Amino acid sequence: MPRLIPESPTFATTSEQAVWERLRAGLGTDDVLIANLRLTDERKDHEIDLVVLMPDVGIVALEVKGGSVWWDDGWRIMRRGHEATIHPVDQARDGKYALREYVERDERWGSRTRVAWSHAVVTPYSEFGSDFALPDLPRWALHDKGDQDHLVGRLRQNAQRMTHGQRVATVDDVDEIAEILTGRLPTTYDVRAEADQRAEVADRLTLEQATILRVTRLLNRVEVRGGAGSGKTVLALQQAKELTRGLQDRKPQRVALLCYSIGLAEHLKREVASWPRNHRPAFVGTFHAFGKQWGAPDGDRTDSDFWEERLPAEMAELATALPDGHKYDAVIVDEAQDFADSWWTPVLRALRDEEEGGLYVYSDENQRIFARFGRPPVALVPLVLDHNLRNTRQIHESFGPLAPSRMYSRGGDGPAVRFLDAAGEDPLDVADDEVDRLLDGGWDPQHVALLTTGHRHPIQVERTDFHDQDGYWRTYWDDDVFYGHVLGCKGLERRAVVLCLNEDGSRDRARERLYVGMSRATDELVVVGDPLTVRRVAGDDVARRLGIC
């Protein structure tokens, strides 16, 4: 029996099935019989009923015509009681050339020279005289009812007579042609495709959630609370856009969009830069940059007294002295849990109307990873976001007990969260190996981050020394793996994150740092560290969810 492709085809007509069965019974074990081959090229769609590949003999493309077929100044057939014109020779010949061109274009054909291809017409129920012939169809290329008992032998002769000086396909040629015509180039699972789909769904859900802003249209003082992945930053950006361009019943406003961290500020700036000019807020950046536009000084990053006392006091004085045209109708603060008590005074004084001006605060108290914490000294209407739109269900469930309140996952399914026991090893070495594994698994470098909870990764130190802080954070958008610390990554995310727990968890706010780090991954999360540290910091429930016994 020949190699059959497919092994059990379904036929549109009994005539095609009858010819196939006859060939199946008569062809040799090295031959290949392909049924119902469909091929599309630039000219047309081709349907080749049968293709017979015979090593060291030739290849024949067959057009099978059942029922009553005859020639009367053209090919005729009876269909549903009506005479119809058909073109079996054209179909067979066009199919042959389309197959040959398709095979020779395929890179798997390589540098092989052309082999001979032939075509034939088979009429298993109609008879033609032995002297019947047409200029484009010799009698030996037409196989009628009387020829069926010797069909295999006739097809061998058919192929040999139609070589036209080309070489005959070998066994290797036949195997390659069969693979090209019916096989598929191997493909693999693509983690990026899954992530792209989840990101699109998350964007759509976040836009749906943006309807919450309609509720706040008549409110000037609002606090939007939500856990990681709830879309707070997206909503803050959308609100900045809407207030700037003017809502249905409000005129355009002068708006400032603030945050604490340099990385998040860079993200906000990049998003805003893509908007039309009349939608962009008047200011986007960090609290410190907010004051620098009025002349506030720089300070040492290690001088807490400067940040907590001297800078906000000086900014408050500068804001008070601002002319009305340089003040703001509304201020939006993202990741507001990072703001100190003293920072709110200059924020409020920067408003044209300190008592009634717009203040919109987005916060997650469980991401409060600095010792300082201050709340605005004004009443805010609270709104709660309780759906996680960004993280996969597996990631969401892994850090669920660390979230501020019960949240519901809508981020879809993804890979299981993995924990790698690095007890007795340098967790950074284990984390580096895991980054390599993610890249080998198909993730693009720009979608991968390695975040630490303790001392910074040497690559982060190197990049910071080379670029300075602002330049280092701009590398977050480079086409490379990002190396960072959880302290600076709030409001930011990457598709695949290796979280390296390279501290013992004894420092203050270790639980919050773990929560921030785990929630930075949208699609794949790997946690590296000592199981005892996880239990000490997060408790047995989180340890169990990470698969720690």
* 413 shares a domain with 458: yes
Residue 473: name the closest of 295, 164, 267 by CA.
Answer: 267
Contact 365, 395 (CB under 8 A): no
pLDDT in tens, the chain (549 residues): 899 999 999 998 999 999 999 999 999 999 999 999 999 888 899 999 999 999 999 999 999 999 999 999 999 998 888 899 999 999 999 999 999 999 999 999 999 999 999 999 999 999 999 999 999 999 999 999 999 999 999 999 999 999 999 999 999 999 999 999 987 666 666 778 878 887 787 777 777 777 777 777 778 999 999 888 888 998 999 999 999 998 666 789 999 999 999 999 999 999 999 999 999 999 999 999 999 999 999 988 788 889 989 999 999 999 999 999 999 999 999 999 889 999 999 999 999 999 999 999 999 876 665 555 568 889 999 988 888 888 999 999 999 888 877 888 888 899 999 999 999 899 999 999 999 999 999 999 999 999 999 999 999 999 999 998 999 999 999 999 999 999 899 889 999 999 999 998 777 788 889 999 999 999 999 999 999 999 999 999 999 999 997
Q: How many domains does the chain have?
A: 3
* 412 shares a domain with 344: no
Q: How many Å apart are CA 382 and CA 387, to the nearest integer?
A: 16
Strand partners, 82: 79
Strand partners, 449: 482, 497
* 61 shares a domain with 178: yes
For residue 108, is it within any domain?
yes
Other CB atoms within 10 Å distance of the CB of residue 356: 10
Name the domain boundary from 323, 355, 385.
Answer: 385
> Helices 88-105 and 171-182: crossing angle, nearest 10°?
100
* 245 shares a domain with 128: no
* 410 shares a domain with 542: yes
* 13 shares a domain with 156: yes
* 346 shares a domain with 237: yes
Q: How many Å apart are CA 444 and CA 429, to the nearest integer?
A: 21
Name the domain boundary from 152, 182, 212.
Answer: 182
Q: Which amino acid is at 217?
A: R
Q: How many Å apart are CA 74 and CA 448, to the nearest integer?
A: 66
Whose tokens are 């979608």? That residue is: 447
pLDDT of residue 388: 87
Name the domain boundary from 146, 163, 182.
Answer: 182
For residue 196, is it within any domain?
no
Strand partners, 388: 409
For residue 158, is it within any domain?
yes
For residue 204, is it within any domain?
no
Token digits of residue 37? 């081959």
* 352 shares a domain with 302: yes
- Residues 6 or more apart from 224 whose CB is under 8 A from it? 212, 232, 235, 236, 360, 361, 362, 363, 383, 384, 385
Q: How many Å apart are CA 281 and CA 272, to the nearest integer?
A: 8
For residue 61, is it within any domain?
yes
Angstrom distances, CA of residue 343 to CA of 29, 237, 287, 419: 84, 21, 8, 39
Token digits of residue 237? 């950006």
For residue 421, is it within any domain?
yes
For residue 24, is it within any domain?
yes
Q: Which DSSP string corresponds to 350-364?
A: TBSSTTTSEEEEEE-
462-483 pLDDT, tens digit each? 999 999 899 999 999 999 999 9
By CB neighbour count within 10 A (0-12 exposed, 13-18 middle, 19+ buried), where does 393 fall? middle
* 408 shares a domain with 375: no
pLDDT of residue 214: 74
* 380 shares a domain with 414: no
By CB neighbour count within 10 A (0-12 exposed, 13-18 middle, 19+ buried), where does 210 fall? middle
Angstrom distances, CA of residue 227 to CA of 259, 397, 464: 17, 13, 30
Q: What are phi and psi of 380, to 5 degrees?
A: -125, 140
For residue 415, is it within any domain?
yes
Whose tokens are 């780090």? That residue is: 517
Token digits of residue 101? 């061109």
Other CB atoms within 10 Å distance of the CB of residue 46: 19
Q: Is there a cis peptide before residue 6, judged by omega within 30 degrees of 0?
A: yes
**Which residue range(s) make up the domain with 349?**
227-385
60-116 pLDDT, tens digit each? 999 999 999 999 999 999 888 889 999 999 999 999 999 999 999 999 999 999 999
Q: Which DSSP string corresponds to 80-114?
A: TTEEEEE-HHHHHHHHHHHHHHHHHHSTTTTTPPP
* 98 shares a domain with 8: yes
pLDDT of residue 221: 94
CATH number of the domain that residue 259 is part of:
3.40.50.300
* 114 shares a domain with 33: yes
